[in-house]
Structure formats: C-alpha cells, structure tokens
Amino acid sequence: MSDVPAEFVAAAHEAAALAAAETRALFRSPLLVEAKGDASPVTEADRAAERALRRFLADRFPQHGILGEEYGAERADAEWLWVLDPIDGTRAFLTGRPLWGTLIGLMHRGAPVLGLLDQPVLAERWLGVAGQGTSFNGAPVRARRCATLAEAEFGCTSPDIFSPATMPRFDRVRRAARRVSWGGDCYLYGLVALGLVDLVVEDTLKPWDWAALAPILEGAGGRMTDWAGNPLRLGTARGDVVALGDPSLLPEVVAALAA
C-alpha cells in the first residue's frame, strides 16, 4: 500500500469545506426531493455537493479517477480513485437530524487509504490515513477494547437493509450483543472510532458508503471487513460489512454471521 501524499490529505479537507458550504445552506430547508431507482431520497443538496467535489478534485488531480453516488464513475481504473458520498444519511438530512455526513475516500489500486467523514452542522470531522492514527477534529482518537459480543454496544442503521436470507445471520449477532441502537448511517462508524460504539454490522453498502470509513476505523485501532472477515476492496466487496473497535472481537462476529 502506497504512502498517501500530504497534498492528497490537504485536498480532502478542502473538498470537505466545499461540500459543507452546499449542504449547510440546505439543511432543514425545503428541498426538492425525488425518488430514484433504489427508493432512497435524492436532494439538490446531494447533487450540488457532489458537483462541487468533482469540480475541485478533477481540477486538482486530473489523472485521478472519481466515483460518486450521484454521478457515477470517471476514470475508474486510475491508480488513485476518489470515492464520494456527498450526503450519507439522506433520510436523516431530510428530517432535520444531524446524523448524516459527507464521505470523502481515496483508494490506491482498489484499497482504501484515506477517509474523511465530515458532519458540518456539528462541526465534527474524522480523518483516517493508512499508516497513521485517526483524528477527530485534529486530535488523536482510539476505539475501545471489547473482547466479547456480550459486552458490545451494537449499532445498525436499519433492519430493513437485510434480506430474508441475511436477516437470520444478522439476528444471531444482534441477540448476542449487550445492547442495540438503530439509526446513524456513517455517523455510527465515527462513534466506533471514538470508542462509544463497539460494533456495526450492515449489508447492501456501496463503495461510496464504506471507502472513507475503513481507514478511519483502522486508524483508530479497529477493523472494517466483510462478513467473512476479508478486507474491503473495490471490485470484490459485496456490500456486507463489519466494523468493530476491537479486532479481537472479529472471530466471534464472523462465526455468528456464517451462513
């Protein structure tokens, strides 16, 4: 895995500021909302923020690729690929809850190496860079130790993301955990990095949902894998994810999720 140049990290911060200018202006405002193919709401805030991100990154790094939720892929086979979700947690955004965030990820040859999670309303920002520790608003953070599922604070955005085939596997983990909290989207993963939540298990995630989060979790001492415990990589990840603060918990979670 290649070192991430400092200019790439600086660009991620600049890009987050540009996206925040678009999203803050529309948060808790009347928005034009459409339904798209997967029935998740799309707002002008999503599109405006992603357009701002794409313009900035294409101008700064013309040889890099870009993959975003709203406008798809450009140069997806480039060595460096920016992966963007302008508003992760659109339903929270639409209902005025600040449990959404802007996700800016960078992959190097398919592996996530830089991740930024920005919650501009609360002025909270997580940054993870491969080979470095994760920071929260510029200060180092670490996930907490949690050796067993019975001790784990467990989070998930919604039970609706699981199919009839995967729900029984998810339920095995849910029943074994100490307590379950619902809702949060990307914000849940930030809470794992802060040591406030121990475990997140989800399904049907797209690359723009996890590319920025994996470096944040791993830089905080945690792990983010698929349900079989494999690293998340572009082209091989299926959408099932496990995020945990204590890597020693992974074997128990993987065993519970086994088909």
Model pLDDT for residues 79-113, shown as the tens digit of each residue = 999 999 999 998 888 888 999 999 999 999 999 99
Q: Is the pLDDT of residue 228 over 60?
A: yes
Residue from 110, 147, 109, 115 nearest 131 by CA:
115
Mean pLDDT, residues 47-76 taken together:
95
Q: What's the distance, Cα to Cα, between the start and end of the chain in Å?
A: 31
Structure-token pair, residue 35: 């339904």
In the block, residue with structure tokens 């987050």: 16
Q: What is the pLDDT of residues 159-208, one digit of tens each?
A: 999 999 999 999 999 999 999 999 999 999 999 999 999 999 999 999 99
Residue 39's pLDDT is what?
Answer: 43
Domain 149-257 has CATH 3.40.190.80: yes
Q: Is the pLDDT of residue 25 over 80?
A: yes
As to burial, measured by CB atoms within 10 angstroms (0-12 exposed, 13-18 middle, 19+ buried), residue 167 is middle
**CB-CB contact of 206 with 239 (8 Å):** yes
Q: Which residues contact 14 (CB under 8 A, 6 or more apart)?
A: 56
Helix 167-176 × helix 250-257 angle, to 10°? 140
Residue 1's pLDDT is what?
Answer: 46
Residue 130's pLDDT is what?
Answer: 96
- When mean pLDDT is compared across 40-49, 195-204, 250-259, the lowest value belongs to 40-49
Q: Is the pLDDT of residue 36 over 60?
A: no
Q: Where are the domains of the chain?
A: 6-140, 149-257
pTM of the model: 0.94
Residue 40's pLDDT is what?
Answer: 53
Mean pLDDT, residues 59-80 taken together:
95
- When mean pLDDT is compared across 30-39, 46-55, 103-112, 138-147, the lowest value belongs to 30-39
Q: Is the pLDDT of residue 32 over 60?
A: no
- Domain 6-140: give its CATH architecture: 2-Layer Sandwich (3.30)
Other CB atoms within 10 Å distance of the CB of residue 94: 17
User: In the chain, which ranges are E strands?
Assistant: 33-35, 41-43, 65-68, 72-74, 80-88, 101-108, 111-119, 124-129, 135-136, 139-140, 153-156, 179-182, 199-202, 223-225, 241-244
- When mean pLDDT is compared across 32-41, 111-120, 138-147, 243-252, the lowest value belongs to 32-41
Mean pLDDT, residues 42-56 taken together:
90
